[in-house]
Amino acid sequence: MSTHDGISRRRVLGMAGAVGSLAMFGSASSALAQALRRTPDQILGPFYPVVKPLHQGADLTTIPGKPGRAAGQVIHVMGRVINSHGQPVQGARVEIWQANTHGRYTHPSDTNPAPLDPNFEGFAVLTTDAEGRYRIKTIKPGAYPAGPDSRMRPPHIHFDVTGKSNRLVTQMYFAGEPLNDKDPFLQGTGAGKERLIVPLRPPTQGLEPDSRVAVWDIILETG
C-alpha cells in the first residue's frame, strides 16, 4: 500500500464513520449531499503564470539542474478529483501555482518586495490517475499584500482543474490561519468556504519527518 493510498483510505473510513454516526440521527443523506457538492469557485488571480517552466513535475521543491531546495515548510498535497456522484475523474488536468514561503510569486507583475526563491518556481501540471488521484510536493506559501489597501491575503494554493466536461478554478486554504477570517475572496464563498480549508497533518511513514500533509478532494459536477 502506498502512502497516498493509506491516507486516502483512512480519510474515507473516517468519513464513513462520521456518516454512520449521523445516520443514527437521520442526517446521513444530508451529510453525503454536503460532501458531494461541487467545490466552490475562486478567482484566477493576477499571478497565473505567463511563462511556464519546461519541467512540470509534481515536486515543486527543487528545480532540475539546481542543487538547492526551496525554502520553507515542505508539504505534501494530495487527494482525488471526483464528480458529484463520487466517481473518480481519470485524466483530469490539474494546474497548480502559488507564492513562495515569503509570499512572492514568480511573476513579472508581482511587485511584492519579498524575495524570490531561486529554487522555487511555484507551478506544476499533472494528470489524475485511474482513481482520480493527484499528488504534489511543495512549500507552504506565505501570506502577501494585495489590493489598494495592501491587506494581507492568507496562504493559499491556486488550482485550475479541467475534466472531460467541466473546468474549475479554485484555491485551497490552510486551517488555523488568522487571515482566513478577513479574506474577502474566501469569506465571499459563504457557507461553502469550509470546503476550501484544509488542515495540515503530521507526515505518514516514508515522508520527511518535518513535513506536513494536506488531503483535499476536488469535486466537479460531471467530471
Ordered DSSP codes for 110-158: ----SPP-TT---EEEEE--TT-EEEEEEEPPPPEEETTTTEEEPPEEE
Q: C-alpha grid cell for residue 159?
A: 488550482
Q: What phi and psi, each to the nearest 5 degrees, are found at residue 161?
A: -115, 125
105 is catalytic: yes
- What's the CA gap between 17 and 13, in Å, rounded? 6
153 is catalytic: yes
Enter the pTM of the model.
0.84
Q: What CATH number belongs to 38-219?
A: 2.60.130.10
Averaged pLDDT, 66-91:
97
- Are the C-beta atoms of residues 116 and 73 closer than 8 Å to each other? no
- The distance in angstroms from the start CA to the end CA of the chain is 27
Pick the residue with more confidence: 114 or 7? 114
Q: Give me the pLDDT at residue 36, please.
A: 84
| CA-to-CA dists, residue 132 to 75, 80, 89, 205, angstroms | 20, 5, 5, 23
pLDDT tens figures, 17-71? 333 333 333 333 444 545 589 999 999 999 999 888 777 789 999 999 899 999 9
Residue 4 pLDDT exceeds 80: no
- Catalytic residue among 102, 104, 134, 144, which? 144
Q: Give me the pLDDT at residue 62, please.
A: 95
102 is catalytic: no
- Catalytic residue among 156, 173, 195, 212, which? 156
Q: Give me the pLDDT at residue 78, please.
A: 98
pLDDT tens figures, 91-104? 999 999 999 999 99
- Catalytic residue among 4, 80, 158, 195, which? 158
- Catalytic residue among 4, 76, 104, 105, which? 105
pLDDT tens figures, 146-180? 988 889 999 999 999 999 999 999 999 999 999 99
- What's the CA gap between 163 and 222, in Å, rounded? 9
- Catalytic residue among 107, 153, 195, 212, which? 153
- Which residues are bridge partners to 174 per DSSP? 198
Residue 8 pLDDT exceeds 60: no
> H helices then E strands: how many in the chain?
3, 11
- What's the CA gap between 27 and 19, in Å, rounded? 8
pLDDT tens figures, 121-149? 999 999 999 999 999 999 999 999 998 88
Q: Give me the pLDDT at residue 53, please.
A: 77
